[in-house]
Amino acid sequence: MPNFQTIDLADVSLRAAIEGQGPLVVMVHGFPESWYSWRHQMGPVAQAGFRVCALDVRGYGGSSRPEAIEAYDMEHMVADVAGVIEALSPDAPAVLVGHDWGAPIVWNTALIRPDRVRAVAGLSVPYTGVPKRPFTD
């Protein structure tokens, strides 16, 4: 059974379900889901020797819900995941797993912050490669 922690970042607070000890694995849900969509994967991953963090991304579940539409752009989502890694694993990179809309979030986090990412997996969405124009343009 996971423990819940609130991770306070610059402009949002994110609810995280956390289970296990060891290297960090961050699981990012899709649309319209929550941390709960990872409930069946968390235990086995934790038992394999990892610390698992399943997020409620901004706007979902127990996380902050900013009013501005711009607060939900990819740049903010990437900053949120990087901030969670900094908070929970300041000295080591994390494994990122994203499902559905969570897949592009974790891929872009790996592209923008490779120093914080050990490995990345996207589920249910095909990876189309590095974009010709970064989302930050």
Residue 137 lies in a domain: no
Long-range Cβ pairs for the range 60-65 (8 Å, 24+): 60/29, 60/32, 60/33, 60/34, 61/15, 61/34, 61/35, 61/36, 62/4, 62/6, 62/15, 63/12, 63/13, 63/14, 63/15, 64/11, 64/12, 64/13, 64/14
Domain ranges, residue 35? 3-123
pLDDT of 8 strictly over 70: yes
User: Does 133 map to a domain?
Assistant: no
Tell me how many domains the chain contains: 1
Flag whether 130 is in a domain.
Answer: no
Average pLDDT, the chain: 95
Please indicate, yes or no, if residue 98 is contained in any of the structural domains.
yes
95 lies in some domain: yes
The tens digit of pLDDT for each residue in 36-94 reads: 999 999 999 999 999 999 999 999 999 999 999 999 999 999 999 999 999 999 999 99
Whether 137 has a pLDDT exceeding 90, the answer reads no
